[in-house]
A = this chain, B = another copy of it.
Amino acid sequence: MAGNTFGTLFRLTTFGESHGEALGGIIDGCPSGLALDLDFIQHELDRRRPGQSHIVTQRKEGDKVEFLSGNFEGRTTGTPIGFIIRNENQRSKDYEHIVDAYRPSHADYTYDAKYGMRDWRGGGRSSARETVSRVVAGAVAKLILKKYGITISAYTSQVGDIKLMKDYRKLDLTKTDSNIVRCPDALIAETMINRIEQVRKEGDTIGGVISCVVTGVAAGLGEPVFDKLHADLGKAMLSINAVKGFEYGSGFDGVSMKGSEHNDQFVVANKEVHTKTNHSGGIQGGISNGEDIYFRVAFKPVATIMKKQTTINSKKEEVEMVGKGRHDPCVLPRAVPIVEAMAALVLVDHILRNKTNAS
């Protein structure tokens, strides 16, 4: 169980390293008859692509996805969907200084410890470049979710200590992509962009938080007891590079509330069951209750900085290191579509799983 497969019924298995021939994956379990909207899929990839603005890495990758199987005359056939994305703009030279040295807070040391070797070019498998395959599969999942009326909207809600305090219900989430940091509040967005600019000029990096809202999920998704819907969402998010924390609904703030304050009282409106408040974040007992699902994901600052750092090499000698190459000063803008993709994978998987609960 080497860990490169995600999902149980809607399964994504990925392969590929940052500077290898290609990255890609296999989507197994995609229902047949789905119209594969290639423009939409490529659009999702473009949202994640490097070089799309001055506050992200300037690597130039076309990131064109090639589908190799599983569709016929524009529709999925129910058989596995293989796809690849060729690597184009590799500059392995940028990484020669780490052939024998471990970048602080990177996976160089731990991969060596685990496998006895590593592909040092661009971080190899540990590079966030791997997520390109997740975005492809997530886009296919989104096409399925559309049929169920489910939308997923992630956005940057914090960069460093600049925090968007407004509740998501008071935001226009269609505005998220209208600025390069992907924050739906234009003013806060500008401050965030300036902060990223600033740390970039310092040769430094900064972390942040992505919030995500899912609407249109019917009650009933999630499998007790271990595969609770939020547990699978949490694992999905924590599997994204640089993520350090996950909370849903009231999250960490909810711990200081009393039960009488925190409980979401049921009400009936237009013959539909709802709750007055939604501290539950749309999930009760691990199963969706029909309300909006929302959660927050914490990203640490990117480990590669352009400042001098002390570290060690494989002979356990102290060495100095300065970051090279083209890196993100802040992963948040490009991570927004990745968060959405992983959420989409979880939801489609649970929709399929839920089909088998009644005899």
- CB contact between A109 and one of B4, B235, B289 (< 8 Å): that residue: B289
Bound CA–CA A58/B30 (angstroms): 34
Taken residue by residue from 114 to 152, chain A's Cβ proximity to chain B (1 for < 8 Å, 0 otherwise) reads as 111111000011100010000000000000100100000
Query: 3 shortest A-B CB distances, which residue pairs?
Result: A107-B285, A3-B223, A245-B247
Task: Give the contacting residue for A77; candidates B124, B283, B286; CB below 8 A.
Answer: B124
* A3-B223, A24-B68 known; A250-B109 Cβ under 8 A: no
Min Cβ gap A258→B in Å is 5
How many copies, total? 4
Within 8 A of B (CB), among A336-359: 352-359
- In the complex, which of the residues A9, A13, A204, A257 has the most CB atoms of chain B within 10 Å of its own CB atom? A13
Of the candidates B24, B79, B301, which one forms a contact with A262 in the assembled complex, judged by CB atoms under 8 Å apart? B301
Among B4, B106, B113, B265, the residue within 8 A (CB) of A310 is B265
Q: Is the CB of A259 within 8 A of B31?
A: no
Q: Which residues of B are found within 8 Å of A66, using beta-carbon distances?
A: 21
Which residues on the B side are within 8 Å of A279 (C-beta)?
A: 105, 300
Within 8 Å CB of A227, what residues of B?
1, 3, 239
On whether the beta carbons of B316 and A257 are closer than 8 Å, the reply is no
Q: Determine the distance from Cα of A284 to Cα of B332 in the docked complex, in whole angstroms.
A: 19
* A216 interface residue per 8 A CB criterion: no
Binary contact track A142-176/B, C-beta < 8 Å → 1, others 0: 00100100000000001011000000000000000
Q: Decide: A244 near B239, CB < 8 A? Known: A79-B125, A114-B354, A116-B32.
A: no
Whether A33 pairs with B109 at a CB distance below 8 angstroms is: no
Verify if A187 is at the interface (C-beta below 8 Å from B).
no
